Each structure stands twice: as C-alpha cells, then as structure tokens.
Amino acid sequence: MTDSREKAELYALDLSGATWLSAPGSDARDRIEIAKLPGGAVAMRNPADPNATVLRYTAAEWEAFTLGVRDGEFDLPADV
C-alpha cells in the first residue's frame, strides 16, 4: 500500500523538464502520455490538455496496473 508521504513527494515533483512518451502513430485525441519519474514512478497526462491535472503513480501502483492490463483485468466484455 502506498503511504501518503510517498504520494505527496510525487506530486511535489517539478515536471517542467519531463520527457513525455506516447504510443507511436496514435491520434492525440485518443491517447495518453506518460513520463518516467525517479524511483520507477510514472506520471500520466492527456496530451490534448497538457496543462490539466497530471496523475502520478508510485512504482508499485504502476506495476500493479501494468500487470492487471497484461492479465486482462480491464478487458471489456464482448457485448459492450
């Protein structure tokens, strides 16, 4: 579980020099961008509105998310 101090430190980071990455060839309206942060943390933003809120995830949170994606936890049912 993530402690509040770790999250506060992530949200205190200055991201003005961050290198934002997105999937090649994707449409800006349909994608997200991520930036790698110290300690394996990740920031995520909407490139269509780069001045909006930037979400930040600890290394453990990001790992749990990516493992869930790989395991199909977020797959939609075929009838949706």
Give the pTM: 0.80
Q: How far is the C-alpha of 26 from the C-alpha of 33, rounded, in Å?
A: 11
Q: What pLDDT sits at residue 70?
A: 95
Average pLDDT rounded to a whole number, residues 32-56: 91
The 10s digit of each residue's pLDDT in 14-24 is 999 999 998 77
- What pLDDT is stored for residue 73 in this prediction? 93
pLDDT score recorded for residue 30: 78
Q: Which residues touch 13 (CB under 8 Å, ≥6 apart)?
A: 37, 38, 43, 56
Over residues 33-56, mean pLDDT: 91
Residue 17 vs residue 78, higher pLDDT: 17
CA distance 62 to 74: 14
